[in-house]
Amino acid sequence: MSKLLIIEDEKNLARFIELEMQHEGYETTVSADGRKGLQLALSNHWDAILLDLMLPELNGMEVCRRIRQINKTVPIIMITARDSVLDRVSGLDSGADDYIAKPFAIEELLARMRSLFRRVEALTSNELTTLTFRDLAVELESCVVKRAGKEINLTKREYDLLVMFMSNINIVLTREVILNKVWGYSTGVETNVVDVYVRYVRNKIDDQNEGSYIQTVRGTGYVMR
């Protein structure tokens, strides 16, 4: 049975999600504040975490950032009433895998979870344990990225983006394809977010004295070659 952590301070909403998830076969645990939720997130194994943005004690973005410092792979979906582009980008940049705005239909949340689990399964089922390109290496089992032997610190989203490029060397990928592979069809993120995250990854992996690992294909998308 999959274990699900729900960090949500709205009692009625938390109970509703809990009952629906139990009906779907999940084993659920609920926390009503950020600090206790963070403690639970770091002290147990979870198959997924549903995380509210506005929480007492510690807000959801900080909870997410602290989880990602320790655990880079657990799927996290951020739930919030704030739905501006800036809020979505900030939530994803803190390490969340997806973002859903209140009010939402439980069917949409379940669909996002299924999409997220498929992406995680696709990454973990890869027979290769290490991806390499030039002097870059990604150790899939430990989620460690190195350039010329030196470790590079990436966020969860940046890591997923790099893995996607390194799994498709010399293949030109459109922004729409990248968005689907890394964020999933069900996400409300715009394609220009791809450009933002490609820039983030370039800033961390590129050597200023050499050409970029990820090249822009004007009018189409990006390619690693």
Q: Is the CB of residue 44 less than 8 Å from the CB of residue 51?
A: no
What pLDDT was estimated at residue 121? 72
Domain of 183, CATH number, reads 1.10.10.10
> What percent of the residues of the chain are helix, what percent strand, and what percent coil, each to the nearest 5?
40, 20, 35
Q: Is the CB of residue 68 less than 8 Å from the CB of residue 26?
A: no
% of residues, the chain, pLDDT over 90: 46
For residues 214-220, give the mean pLDDT: 91
Q: Is the pLDDT of residue 187 over 60?
A: no
Counting Cβ atoms within 10 Å, is residue 209 exposed (0-12), middle (13-18) or buried (19+)? exposed
Quote the domain boundaries for residue 49: 3-124
pTM of the model: 0.59
Q: Which residues, in sequence order, are bridge partners of residue 139?
A: 130, 144
Together in a domain, 149 and 214: yes
- The pLDDT-based confidence of 188 (bands split at 50, 70, 90) is low
Between residues 128 and 10, which one has the greater pLDDT?
10
Together in a domain, 151 and 196: yes
- The pLDDT-based confidence of 223 (bands split at 50, 70, 90) is very high
What pLDDT was estimated at residue 96? 86
Q: pLDDT tens digits for 154-173?
A: 988 899 999 999 988 888 88
Of the candidates 185, 51, 22, the residue with the CA atom closest to the CA atom of residue 115: 185
Q: pLDDT tens digits for 4-60?
A: 999 999 999 999 999 999 999 999 999 999 999 999 999 999 999 999 998 999 999
Q: Which residue matches tokens 């990928």?
A: 173
Contacts for 168 with CB less than 8 Å, ≥ 6 apart = 224
Domain of 114, CATH number, reads 3.40.50.2300
Domain count, the chain: 2
